[in-house]
Amino acid sequence: MRPDQSRDSHTNDIHTTACVRHAGVDRRLFLSAATAAAATAMLPNFAHAAPEKKWRVGVIGHTGAGNYGHGLDTVWLSLPETEIVGLADANDKGRAACNRKIGMVPDFADYREMLKQTQPNIVAVSPRHLHEHHDMILAAIDAGAQGIYCEKPFCRTPQEADEIVAACEKSGTRLGLAHRNRYHPAVPVAMAALKEGVIGDLLEIRCRGKEDHRGGAQDIWVLGTHLLDLAHYYGGNATACSAVLLNGTRPVTKEDVVEGGEGLGPLAGDRLFARYEMESGIPLYFDSIKNQGVKEANFGVQLIGNKGFMDFRIDIEPLVHLVPGNPFFPTDKARPWIPISSAGIGKPEPIENLGRLVSKHILATRDLLAAVSEDRPPLSSAEDGRAIVEMIHAAFASHVKNGERVQLPLESRTHPLADLAAQPS
């Protein structure tokens, strides 16, 4: 267990009242003390002195098959409470290059041998390609890992997710996913604002993928998991889905199914339009069209209410903005985009270098360490990952059934596009 660690004084309080004056707007946005206190309790711990005993970290990568994600090999060098004790990579050249970066630790071609020889407390499952995640995670659990930090996407099928969740429950291992925006300290503040009715009644949640050359089915896998993770937090579990996959304007057929890149498994469609029913009663929409993205403008989530909306731009600072006013009512007055920070609505961000703390996975990995110590799920957990994998599969399953509404949890735990490709001609 890690030693007690203090919290910086500037993160102890959320300012509950913000007076916003912008472009003629003069309004008081208020979070009640109880709600603000609940949001404060979810803020991360930033003050970390080097402990007497450090967490032992084993890093698993695979050069040429997902590499080391977005810095999942090096984040541990920024945490004085951790030390890397082993490295595994089946690619000799890639392994040597990574080892030079992380400080020349014992390295292995076989990750199972690394786990056996070094016995880490924490394991980083780093490859961006997800076809090896299932086996790597189960091997880490079998080796006694207390915590696992895994690159997204999580795994390929609900069946794989079921097996991982069951193994974590049996062993007590805590698994955190690299949906790094989920660990942003403005996220619980936005939840507090939502509960206080700052945007009125929530009408819908809208997600657009990045919509670059990977638009459509690949977009929801490779990038959309960031969006679905946030949407799942605000909207709850999905209970049903109806969706369509298109190639251009033509519905996807069995002849369109190919083996997707990045270890995704069966894939088809450069356009995806999905509607989910959430347990909160609020509909969630995910849309993606290939090559329709404007750099950093399409990739985000909007919580749309009858008195305003909150907008999340993935990997951008500030992460969240509030736009007051009914979004469907015409007006000739400018509507301000008011930042929501860890301090509250319209307040300057008091946390220095917050962008780096989020983008470099520092907040996320510290949440994992805290989750192990406190015996709680990480903010983006294996259970959350399973819910997201199932949402993606539900969209595919609905399309296979000609857009029919399908209920979640899905009865079939295998891949719907594999089932489509196997259908007789």
Predicted confidence at residue 74, as pLDDT, reads 97
Q: Is the pLDDT of residue 52 over 70?
A: no
Are the C-beta atoms of 358 and 312 separated by less than 8 Å?
no
Nearest to 314 by CA among 273, 265, 359, 380: 359
State the pLDDT confidence band at 297, using cuts at 50, 70 and 90. confident
Domain 55-177, CATH: 3.40.50.720
Q: What is the pLDDT of residue 35?
A: 55
Going by DSSP bridges, is the β-strand pair 308-313/300-305 parallel, antiparallel, or unpaired? antiparallel
* Token pair of 322 as six digits: 């509030």
Average per-residue pLDDT in the chain? Answer: 90
**Looking at residues 295-304, what average pLDDT do you find?**
86
Q: Quick one: 15 exposed, middle or buried, by C-beta within 10 A (0-12, 13-18, 19+)?
A: middle
pLDDT band of residue 36 (cuts 50, 70, 90) is low
Of 348, 285, 315, 323, the closest CA to residue 29 belongs to 323
Digit-coded pLDDT (tens) for 106-152: 999 999 999 999 999 999 999 999 999 999 999 999 999 999 999 99
pTM of the shown model? 0.90
Q: Is the pLDDT of residue 2 over 80?
A: no
Fold of 185-372+382-407: Dihydrodipicolinate Reductase; domain 2 (3.30.360)
pLDDT value at residue 424: 85
Strands 271-278 and 238-247 come out as: antiparallel
The residues, any chain, with a CB within 8 Å of residue 294's CB and separated by 6 or more, are none
**pLDDT for 148:** 98
Residue 221: pLDDT over 70: yes
Between CA 163 and CA 216 the distance in angstroms is 28
| pLDDT of amino acid 425 | 76
Q: Say if residue 27's pLDDT is above 60.
A: no
Region 36-59: mean pLDDT is 67
Residue ranges of domains in the chain: 55-177, 185-372+382-407
Q: Is the peptide bond before 324 cis (omega within 30 degrees of 0)?
A: no
